[in-house]
Amino acid sequence: MKDELEKKLAEAFPFMQIKEPPKEQEADGRICDLYGAFGCECDDGWYETLFGLCGEITEAYKKHGQPVDIVVDQIKEKYGTLRFYYHLSQNNGDLRREISDIVIKWEKKSAEVCERCGKAGVLREDLQWIQALCDECYLK
């Protein structure tokens, strides 16, 4: 995703801000903070999808009267749909379930949104890899 779109998400939703790029790695060489290292690993077409997901997460916290404590671990495309990996600091079971339901809902919706341009799309499985694309982007 373009930096400018990631910055817009971070301005609207503070939990989407990327801290300093991670310098530390695990002993085996793995990166500790994938979101901090790579940002949103998907195309620009899912910007609105991510905006909707983050908006619903923020509303869930407001409804429960709790400060937003979600930490984004990784955002990427996998098998043609959005993947939003995260963890929570607090252990509020109802809020935890609600956020999980929100994430699942938006991940499923991403299968119907062109990852490249954001128009209505479908999963295309006849490409090099599975991707959600509109007809126009598919033909390119």
What tens digit of pLDDT does each residue of 23-36 get?
Answer: 555 556 666 778 88
Residues 6+ apart with CB under 8 A from 35: 18, 72, 73, 74, 75
Q: What is the predicted pLDDT for the residue at 24?
A: 56
> How much is the pTM?
0.90
**Backbone phi and psi for residue 124, each to the nearest 5 degrees, phi listed first:** -110, 115
82-101 pLDDT, tens digit per residue, is 999 999 987 788 999 999 99
Compute CA 70 distance to the chain's CA centroid, rounded to the nearest angstrom.
12
